[in-house]
Amino acid sequence: MLHCRQQCDGNHPVWGVGELDLLQLSISGLANGCVYGLIALGFVLIYKATEAVNFAQGDFMMFGAFITIWLANSYYLGINFWVAVSIAVLIMGMLGYLLDMIVLRRMFGQPQIAVVILTIALGFILRFLAGAIWAHEPQSLEFPLAGEKITLGGLVLGVEEVAVILVTFALCGLLYLFFSRSRLGMAMQAASQNQLAAYFMGVPVKRIQSLVWALGGMVAAVAGVLFASKGAIDPSTGLLGIKAFAAAVIGGFGSLPGALIGGIIIGLVEPFAAYGLPAGYSQIAPYLIMLLVLIFRPHGLFSQVQKKKV
């Protein structure tokens, strides 16, 4: 059985070759899983508030990443990286808000399948626009810490991967404080639990729903920046939303922590499946886990099932 072996070599730990492989795969998988988890977080936020599934959430992530690349990498604009990220997050928040206010409110009373089809079509439109504006060739974000390494014995960690993990957990902490401490966050929770009761208590439900869509767009933009900091992206990167949807199903569509944990589960399974399974089979591992969860725990691993009175 593999075990973690650590010896002293001056002040640096020395890891065995097997342990190094496992740790490198784990860190890489955790970083990818954090991105999946953030996209899944957008799925859950919107679903809890509106009972709609935004299948364009992955494309929101891709579009936010391209906006950041365009602003940060542009020789002519010369915008600071952190300012570019802030602008991209705000733009995606505005896109989410306007999408709900102008389009989705007009779908009120329509079957849920109509909203699903609408968001799928929106994903195609965003991928087309990204290709038309920025072309279909992979592009990379000029991340300020790109190429930097952290060495722990024989373990080499990319600063990008460490940053992805730290930013994800910091963002989740901020969202927790937002929903538990702020009046707006508590209003969003009230609207997601019972819209009619929230309306009678004076909560502007329609505006809250638009703000939730805006928050979903902003979270997707952050996920896009984190993903682009690790490697190149192209318009088809938005299809990562499918894996994020699987993460949301695994964690439970009613649970925000479950969305993040579901993303981490998929992120960790992928590299180990690629390491241990024949080529091609590793791609089905996340969906196989989703299938098993749907069979044995249909509401997800961390779901909070609520019964509605009618």
Task: Per residue of the chain (310 residues), give pLDDT as tens.
Answer: 334 444 444 444 444 446 777 887 888 889 999 999 999 999 998 988 887 889 999 999 999 999 999 998 876 577 888 999 999 999 999 999 999 999 988 887 788 888 899 999 999 999 999 999 999 999 988 887 776 777 776 677 778 888 899 999 999 999 888 888 888 888 887 877 777 777 777 778 888 889 999 999 999 999 999 999 888 899 999 999 999 999 999 998 878 889 999 999 999 998 888 877 776 777 888 899 999 999 999 888 887 655 444 3
Cβ atoms within 10 Å of 295's Cβ, excluding its own: 8
Give every CB contact of residue 96 below 8 A, 6+ residues apart in sequence: 60, 210, 213, 214, 215, 216, 217, 218
Domain ranges of the chain: 21-231
CA separation for the pair 200, 267 (Å, rounded) = 42
CA 130 → CA 39, 66, 286, distances in Å? Answer: 18, 7, 27
Query: Reduced to 3 states, what is the DSSP secondary structure of residue 194?
Result: coil
Element (H, E) at 243: helix 241-251
pTM for the predicted model, two decimal places: 0.86
Structure tokens at 256: 């925000």
Closest CA relative to residue 303, chosen from 228, 252, 266: 252
